[in-house]
Chains A and B, each alone.
Chain A
Amino acid sequence: MIYREAGDFKTSYRSDGQTFPIRLDRWGYYAVLAVAFGVLPFVIDDYWANAVFVPFLIYAIAALGLNILTGYAGQVSLGTGGFMAVGAYAVYKLMTAFPDISVMIHILLAGGITAGVGVLFGLPSLRIKGFYLAVATLAAQFFLVWLFNKVPWFYNNSASGQITAPTRTVLDIAVTGPTATAPAKYLTCLVFVVALAWVARNLTRGTIGRKWMAIRDMDIAAEIIGVNPLAAKLSAFAVSSFFIGIAGALLFAVYLGAAEVGEAFGINKSFLVLFMIIIGGLGSIFGSFAGAAFLVLLPVLLKNTLVGGFGWPTDLAAHIELMVVGALIVTFLIVEPHGLARLWQLAKEKLRLWPFPH
């Protein structure tokens, strides 16, 4: 009854083009922001930060990045793990080489470096598309992991071959390293998520976003109306890799603290993020968040139910968890191929007319 657009008249093209055209959506968005910034930092503990919120936020950034490339620009990529590794190793090298500069700047720079690498590996997209492009980006995945394993310069010649995040502070509060507290980690990730989601929304609703979607939907027609496919595809790779690089940097520096490239950024990561955007919804900002939430929260939920609730052994629960997640993905793809974002949209359309649908 309250969820209505009736009476909420738009009198300018500016207000017609806003992100949340329905008043209740707008309020909901502000409420989520208020809780995320105003309440959660004070109540969050280590368990909730490490098991739920920090990985959710970081994967949301990665999913946003991949969704820009695959969902909006239509270029399939399996190199997400590799690009996250680029972000992680870039931020590691920057943190150890320039300890006096703020880690926030390092993370942004790591995103920039990943954008450059992404453009390089995006070059094949000018010639090939679909599955063939996916295979080409798979090459990026394997090559990058191999590179970071093989060249000791990247991990500062450490004996274990691992990279370890040193302690760095923002406003005198440690956000990386072993002394970082749960609220500090959470807030760092949250700031990046909110800023990047806002940028993603702005880019996808304007000229650049239309160019990407035009290339995605029909590349020949896009070219005929004046889209330069080279610029459109490479800019999608750049922006997407920038997001993914930041996600990788945060995953390593803030979340994991220490990482070994094959383990932390292997092919599994690429698939995980791809599943997130498929389940969440291709070409949707909300879908990126929903997919990340689904795949981060579901295993935690299952584990708590099976081990905590039923008292099953941990290893059995872990296997069951894999099967359940797999089955759910398949079910999802059959029932709603357009993902959670589409379900959300349908629910809202129903709600708009409820309780008198005729």
Chain B
Amino acid sequence: MNSMTDEYVTEDGRRIGGTVMDLRNITLRFGGVVAIKDISFDIRQGEIRAIIGPNGAGKSSMLNVISGFYVPQEGEVWFKGYRRGPMKPYQVARLGIARTFQNIALFDGMSVLDNIMTGRLNRMKSGFLSQAMWWGRAEREEIEHREAVEKIIDFLEIQNIRKTPVGRLPYGLKKRVELARALAAEPQLLLLDEPMAGMNVEEKEDMSRFILDVNDEFGTTICLIEHDMGVVMDLSDRVVVMDYGRKIGDGTPDEVRNNQDVIDAYLGVAHD
């Protein structure tokens, strides 16, 4: 991994392209607390990029910077070759960045179908009058997008709960619906904040399979945070390791596994 800008093909045959998201010298402070200190890394087209680190390392803050929820005090965020200025979260969404949340953020009062349909809001262009009359564009769009959403429902194998209110679903399914909602936006960059937190082994296997399939079939670039080391090492192409708001490692799973700083951060180090 010496020439960072060249395209290459992974062992399992996926094509990794140039840089999509480039974070340069990001520093994020909350008052006097420094959450992220001078971190730079990039995410390349088509890869699965993981961010790991002990609790409180600043991983979620990093994801919030990428998704535009936090604006860093210093540093630059470059997306698809353009420098991104301070933006509202909904504007970032329109650039093609979707995400899921650590603690599920679905719309409990709506059905699974409606929840996933909200993922396509930015692609719907029908005007107010057309919607009020349910005439022409509004109805046409509804059916078009329903078809797209049904493909995702098939893909994630949640056909049987389509019309169920989300509030009634068990945890693992909620996580899957949230992934479906993010996928419905057909994002170029998909951010997953602990997609497997609180799942049992079987659910984790399912979710891992879905993440790999999304990456493989749709070519979606994925950036994920996860605590389960086995999952991270298996899924990801490259890993960023954070500790106390700093980057202490960056590279392929193997490189990271053998990095002394990373081992120290996770296992602790004897001070003599």
Binding site for B on A (CB under 8 A): 12-14, 17, 199, 202-203, 205-208, 210-211, 213-214, 216-218, 220-229, 235, 283
Contact = CB atoms under 8 A, between A and B. Distances in A.
B139 interface: yes
B2 to A, nearest CB: 36
B19 interface: no
Interface string B87-128: 011100110001101000111111000100111011010101
A165 to B, nearest CB: 28
B142 interface: yes
Contacts of A217: 106-110
B142 A206 contact: yes
Interface in B173-209: 181-182, 185
A207 B138 contact: yes
B90 A220 contact: no
A225 B109 contact: no
A29 B52 CA distance: 57
Contacts of A214: 107, 110, 118, 121
A221 B147 contact: no
B147 A13 contact: yes
B78 interface: no
Contacts, number: 101
24 contacts: A13-B142, A13-B146, A14-B139, A14-B143, A17-B142, A203-B132, A205-B134, A206-B131, A207-B131, A208-B128, A208-B131, A213-B107, A213-B110, A214-B121, A220-B105, A222-B118, A224-B69, A225-B118, A225-B121, A226-B121, A226-B122, A229-B90, A235-B128, A283-B109
Nearest to B145: A207
Nearest to A208: B131
Nearest to B140: A14
Interface in B197-234: none
Nearest to A211: B121
Interface of B: 67, 69, 88-90, 93-94, 98-99, 101, 105-110, 114, 117-119, 121-122, 124, 126, 128, 131-134, 138-139, 141-143, 146-147, 150, 181-182, 185
If over half of B's interface residues share one DSSP class (helix, strand or loop), that class is named, otherwise mixed; here it is helix
Contacts of B118: 210-211, 214, 222, 225, 227
Contacts of A213: 107, 109-110, 114
A193 B181 CA distance: 35
Contacts of B134: 202, 205-206
A224 B89 contact: yes
Which of B69, B121, B124, B142 lies at the interface centre, i.e. has the most chain A CB atoms within 10 A of its CB? B121
Contacts of B124: 207
If over half of A's interface residues share one DSSP class (helix, strand or loop), that class is named, otherwise mixed; here it is helix
B147 to A, nearest CB: 7
A210 B147 CA distance: 17
Contacts of B132: 199, 202-203
Given A210-B121, A218-B107, A225 B131 contact: no
Contacts of A211: 118, 121
B89 A206 contact: no
A283 B107 CA distance: 13
B4 to A, nearest CB: 29
A237 to B, nearest CB: 14
Contacts of A220: 105
A25 to B, nearest CB: 16
Contacts of B90: 223-229
Contacts of B119: 225
A213 B147 CA distance: 22
A222 B182 CA distance: 12
Given A12-B143, A14-B143, A224-B105, 6 more contacts: A205-B134, A206-B142, A207-B126, A208-B131, A225-B98, A225-B181
A207 B124 CA distance: 7
A13 B143 contact: yes
A224 B99 contact: yes
B174 to A, nearest CB: 12
Contacts of A229: 90
B95 to A, nearest CB: 10
